[in-house]
Structure 1
Amino acid sequence: MKDVNPVVWFEIYCNDLERAKSFYEKVFQTTLSPLGNPVQDDDLKMLAFPGDMETKGKTSGALVHTKGMEAGGNSVVIYFSSEDCSVEENRVKDAGGEVLRSKMSIGEFGFVSIIKDSEGNMIGIHSME
């Protein structure tokens, strides 16, 4: 078995890129930055989360707005890391999202909050405290 995280990239689809940017920056107190368009498609716009896209085993990702890909599908849940997920959870409503499941214990694995972002995507917030 490999001991390297096999997840290298994630995309969160958005209907309104600026609204989604505001949500994620406000809730997670981070800055997203424009990402170059790899396919030269005028309909594709991406804002990257801070990360290391060059190192194997590191995960990076972006908010994505493109024709034909609607936001709000919940077949995959991405968990964001946190010191205490209740802190980010408390910012969700003001940022335009909704708390689906408040901070709950997952035993020895810590705690999670499950929320909907401003675009209707379900995401998780994980912490050990």
Structure 2
Amino acid sequence: MNNNPVGWFEIYVQDMERAKRFYESVFQTKLERLDSPAGMPVELWSFPMMKGQMGASGALVKMADGPSGGNAVLVYFSCADCAVEAARAASAGGQLIREKISIGPYGFIALIRDTEGNMIGLHSMQ
């Protein structure tokens, strides 16, 4: 493998407006509407991506009968201090699952649940 292992992620949602409000509030960013692939009745809103920078981007996805919640995969968002975004999660309608904890030389993590029932991770080095 010559690249970072994650190239894209999708977070499935039932209520797009509610999910957008949550993620835009927690991460203090604006999501961008993506065109749906031809013949696919799906709504996509992507997280900002900076070409040439480390990491991967992804999108919130809403589709008929699309799965949400129940997490088979856990996505970690990079943060300057994951405690900040974890605190925003509760005020944005989400739930704090695990407060910021040390993972030794690898930094810190916190776990939150979004408004759609998806658990996501937050990671920081401080």
Question: Does the TM-score normalized on the shorter chain lie above 0.5?
Answer: yes
Please say which of residues 57-66 and 4-13 is displaced more in the overlay. Answer: 57-66
- 1:49 alignment partner in structure 2: 47
- 2:85 alignment partner in structure 1: 88
Report the TM-score when normalising by structure 2: 0.93
- CA shift, 1:39, in A, is 2.9
Cα distance in 1, alignment partners of residues 4 and 45 from structure 2: 23
Cα distance in 1, alignment partners of residues 59 and 119 from structure 2: 15
Cα distance in 2, alignment partners of residues 72 and 66 from structure 1: 14
- CA shift, 1:3, in A, is 4.5
Matches within 5 A, 1:1-129: 2-41=1-40, 43-52=41-50, 59-129=56-126
- CA shift, 1:68, in A, is 1.8
Report the TM-score when normalising by structure 1: 0.90
Q: How many residue pairs end up in the alignment?
A: 126
Secondary structure of the residue that 1:18 maps to in structure 2?
A: helix
Secondary structure of the residue that 1:93 maps to in structure 2?
A: helix
- CA shift, 1:59, in A, is 1.6
Change (3 A) 1:98 1:18: same
Secondary structure of the residue that 1:26 maps to in structure 2?
A: helix
Cα distance in 2, alignment partners of residues 101 and 109 from structure 1: 17
> Which structure 1 residue ranges, 4+ long, deviate > 6 Å from structure 2?
none
Structure 2 residues not aligned, in runs of 5+: none
Output the aligned Cα RMSD. Answer: 1.8
Secondary structure of the residue that 2:116 maps to in structure 1?
A: coil
Cα distance in 1, alignment partners of residues 21 and 38 from structure 2: 25
Cα distance in 1, alignment partners of residues 55 and 109 from structure 2: 21
- CA shift, 1:74, in A, is 1.2
Cα distance in 2, alignment partners of residues 96 and 38 from structure 1: 31
1:62-100 residue CA offsets vs partner (Å, 9 max, x unmatched): 000001212102111000000000010110111110000
